[in-house]
Structure 1
Amino acid sequence: MREYKNFKEIDRDLKLLKLQKEIDKEKVLLSYNQTKESLSPKRILKDAADSVLKNRYVLKGATSVLGFIGDKFK
């Protein structure tokens, strides 16, 4: 526990704590809004569509490469 020598030190620490409380509150609100946005139906559908398209191109590319490698060993 900290020992204070005067009221000025106490006031300073109280101001710092108040500012830290405001910062923490803003962080929570920001996190809440980001989570809310990421869980919206529109965002979920967009992310799912992006994932399907990426997997489609990866699968197509891998099939082409594997087919090309397989042709070399025939």
Structure 2
Amino acid sequence: MREYKNFEDIERDLKLLQLQKEIDKEKVILSYNITKESLAPKRLLKNAAGSIFKNALILKGATSVLGFIGEKFK
């Protein structure tokens, strides 16, 4: 526990705590808004479509490579 020698130190620490409280509140609000935006239906559909397209390209590339390797061993 901290011991204070004067009221100025107490006031300074109270001001710092108040500012930290405001910063923490803004961080919570920002996190909430980011989460809300990331869970929006439009964003979810966009992410799902992107994943499907990316996986289709990977599958097509893998099939091509595996087909090429298979032809070499015939």
TM-score (norm 2): 0.97
The alpha carbon displacement at 1:51 in A equals 0.4
Secondary structure, counterpart of 1:33 in structure 2: helix
State the superposition RMSD in angstroms. Answer: 0.5
| 1:25-64 aligned within 5 A | 25-64=25-64
List 4+ stretches of structure 1 deviating above 2 A: none
Q: For structure 2, which runs of at least 5 residues remain unmatched after alignment?
A: none
Hey, what's the Cα distance between the residues in 2 that align with 1:4 and 1:73?
Answer: 82
Hey, what's the Cα distance between the residues in 2 that align with 1:64 and 1:73?
Answer: 15
What is aligned with 1:13? 13
Give the total of aligned pairs: 74
Overall identity of the aligned pairs, in %: 78
The alpha carbon displacement at 1:53 in A equals 0.3
